[in-house]
């Protein structure tokens, strides 16, 4: 039995980053350096790693990146004031607050305080509302990255049945909307869905975003389906694995994304893409 074509997020991400780097050069020629501010509260090791990767990626393509580290016990008001000050900064085109935040801070309030013009994560209620209506806005980076993977892999979405496993605000919900806008028929499933395999087996495209290691097995997948694995989990040996049982599903799928090296690199790539887009908009508004 032939195994699935692997959709390589590292390669596709690099290709997109090259074109984004060209756009950065053009902006710099016009006197604008795209700027991304990242706010990190506390010292969560996973968050620190994510932030480091984001900064390295910015530097690699010429984006100015400012890291603002705040202590775990920072007050909500201090954090909101920091965001308001960045909203007004001419050198900053994108603002990102690394989640999760300490429990005494209201994440919704924080996200809503970021100016929609600088919401390069695509999480604010205004960005989400515009996305739902199909209006131009910053798309959330992980679902946006998945759409780019499908596009680069030559997967035709129109008329296909896409099943989303997971319903988070960050991945599951927006993922379904973006596929719907490309004329897929979309079904949402989640932890309370009975007889899950009977639904996922109907899918031409499965997007797994449940946060449960090796959750999707070959029992869930019909022959020839495209399987996108958004999960990032650690196994008992601390090895990075996805929500999809790769070795099993690879035997039945037509295309599959690996973990690591699939969706992960695309999330940061689309963050860079959105930040540069914001800088381009600010330049056209100044003219």
Which residues are annotated as catalytic?
Answer: 54, 98, 121
- 47 appears as a binding residue in the annotation: no
Distance from C-alpha of 123 to C-alpha of 126, rounded to nearest angstrom: 8
Which residue matches tokens 């963050």? 271
Let me know if 112 is exposed, middle or buried by CB neighbors in 10 A (0-12, 13-18, 19+). middle
Q: Which of 50, 62, 12, 117 is nearest to 272 (CA)?
A: 62
Residues 6+ apart with CB under 8 A from 180: 186
State the DSSP code for 104.
T
CA dihedral (98, 103, 105, 109) positive or negative: positive
- 166 appears as a binding residue in the annotation: yes
Distance from C-alpha of 118 to C-alpha of 287, rounded to nearest angstrom: 19
Tokens of 253: 């799928």
Distance from C-alpha of 117 to C-alpha of 30, rounded to nearest angstrom: 20
- 212 appears as a binding residue in the annotation: no
For the CA atoms of 183, 153, 222, 143, the dihedral, rounded to the nearest 10 degrees, stands at -60
Within 10 angstroms of residue 209's Cβ, the number of other Cβ atoms is 26
- In Å, how far are 46, 89, 210, 262 from 81, measured between CA atoms? 25, 13, 34, 37
- 232 appears as a binding residue in the annotation: yes
- In Å, how far are 3, 90, 95, 108, 259 from 221, measured between CA atoms? 14, 49, 39, 36, 18
Binding residues for NADP(+): 166-168, 232
Binding residues: 166-168, 232
């Amino acid at each position: 039995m032939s195994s699935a074509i692997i959709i390589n997020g590292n390669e596709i991400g690099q290709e997109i980053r090259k074109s984004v780097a060209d756009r950065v050069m053009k902006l710099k020629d016009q006197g604008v350096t795209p700027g991304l501010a990242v706010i990190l509260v506390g010292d969560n090791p996973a968050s620190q790693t994510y932030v480091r990767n984001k900064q390295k990626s910015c530097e690699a393509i010429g984006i100015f990146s400012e890291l603002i580290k705040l202590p775990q016990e920072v007050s909500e008001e201090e954090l909101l004031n920091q965001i308001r000050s960045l909203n007004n900064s001419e050198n900053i085109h994108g603002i990102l607050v690394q989640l999760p935040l300490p429990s005494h801070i209201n994440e919704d309030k924080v996200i809503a305080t970021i100016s929609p013009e600088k919401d390069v994560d695509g999480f604010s209620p205004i960005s989400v509302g515009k996305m739902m209506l199909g209006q131009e806005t910053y798309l959330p980076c992980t679902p946006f990255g998945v759409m780019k993977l499908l596009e680069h892999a030559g997967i035709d979405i129109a008329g296909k049945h896409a099943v989303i496993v997971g319903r988070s605000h960050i991945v599951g919900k927006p993922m379904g909307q973006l596929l719907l806008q490309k004329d897929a028929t979309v079904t949402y499933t989640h932890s309370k869905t009975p007889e899950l395999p009977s639904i996922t087996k109907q899918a031409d495209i499965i997007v797994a975003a449940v946060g449960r290691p090796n959750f999707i097995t070959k029992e869930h997948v019909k022959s020839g389906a495209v399987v996108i694995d958004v999960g990032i989990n650690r196994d008992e040996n601390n090895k990075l694995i996805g929500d999809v049982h790769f070795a099993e599903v690879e035997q039945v799928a037509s295309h599959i994304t690996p973990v690591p090296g699939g969706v992960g690199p695309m999330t940061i790539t689309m963050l860079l893409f959105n930040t540069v887009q914001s800088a381009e908009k600010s330049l056209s508004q100044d003219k």
